[in-house]
């Protein structure tokens, strides 16, 4: 799994955030076979933390966005958005091949 992240206008510790991002992005590995590339963009706008997650792999692309007052809550919510998209996609493929 490849992961990259960008912090914009945040005053947080990058090493702490990177460890948390790796842990949360690791949840998505079980849904993908082969390559997985995750790109995070985390910014602070209008008194809220905004997390964008773009996951690509195996000719598919998923995007999750979340806005929260707590940085770690916004990261978790973005991962949940992507996880729901992946699960829905897997269900469609499963139903299609009956």
**Could you tell me the pTM of the whole model?**
0.86
Average pLDDT over residues 3-19: 87
Q: Which residues contact 5 (CB under 8 A, 6 or more apart)?
A: 17, 18, 21, 39, 40, 41, 42
The pLDDT of residue 1: 81
More confident residue, 39 or 96: 39
Q: Which residues contact 82 (CB under 8 A, 6 or more apart)?
A: 28, 53, 55, 62, 63, 64
Per-residue pLDDT of 58-87, as tens digits, reads 788 999 999 999 999 999 999 999 999 988
Chain centroid, CA 41 distance in Å: 9
What the chain holds in terms of domains, given with CATH numbers, is 2-96 (3.30.160.100)
The sign one gets for the Cα dihedral 66, 72, 73, 77 is positive
């Amino acid at each position: 799994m490849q992961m990259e992240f960008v912090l914009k206008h945040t005053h947080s510790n990058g090493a702490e955030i990177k460890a948390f991002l790796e842990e949360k992005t690791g949840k998505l590995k079980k849904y993908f076979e082969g390559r997985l590339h995750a790109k995070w963009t985390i910014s602070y706008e209008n008194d809220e933390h905004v997390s964008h997650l773009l996951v690509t792999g195996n000719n598919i692309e998923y995007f999750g966005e979340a806005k929260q007052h707590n940085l770690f809550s916004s990261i978790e919510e973005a991962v949940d958005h992507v996880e729901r998209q992946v699960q829905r996609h897997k269900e469609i493929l499963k139903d299609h091949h009956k």
